[in-house]
Amino acid sequence: MTALKGGNAAAALADFAEAARLEPKVARYRAQYGQALAGNVQMRHRAETEIHAAIQLEPNNTAYRIMLAKLYQNLGFIKRAQGELERARAIDPQNAEVQRLLAE
């Protein structure tokens, strides 16, 4: 996170990859790695895989579902994005970000 906050995306990506490899059962590492990968068009399939892994580890985490919905939205998969947002809303009906994204 320090590398990412410092603007060093390449180092952050490498660090997230290493964290996810060393601790594959830690959902936040997998989610952050997936989110970092999502910025690279060629790595978006891998990004989806990593965020899905985080969701499998923590299915009630709305933040991970929002990450996946945003990835789908960026890829133009609107129905998939909407489905993830609906699942997130079922978990947290008052989540303002989910409501905003669904309205879009």
pLDDT band (50, 70, 90) for residue 2: low
Counting Cα atoms < 13 Å in the Cβ hemisphere of 42 gives 0
Q: What integer pLDDT is reported at residue 101 of this predicted model?
A: 96
Tokens 């990412």 identify what position? 4
What is the arithmetic mean of pLDDT over 39-68?
A: 95
CB 84 within 8 A of CB 97: no
Q: Please compute the mean of the pLDDT values over residues 5-19 and round it to a whole number.
A: 79
Question: Which token pair is 62?
Answer: 């709305």
For the residues 66-87, what does the mean pLDDT come to? 96
* Phi, psi of 95, deg, nearest 5: -65, 115
pLDDT value for 12: 77
Residue-level pLDDT at 97: 97
Residue 19: how many other CB atoms lie within 10 Å: 16
Over residues 84-97, the mean pLDDT reads 97
Categorize the per-residue pLDDT at 8 as very low, low, confident or very high, splitting at 50, 70 and 90: low
Token pair belonging to 23: 């601790």
pLDDT value at 67 more than 90: yes
What is the model's pLDDT at position 3? 65
Q: What is the pLDDT of residue 54?
A: 98
Name residue 20's amino acid. Answer: A
Distance of CA 66 to the CA centre of its chain: 7
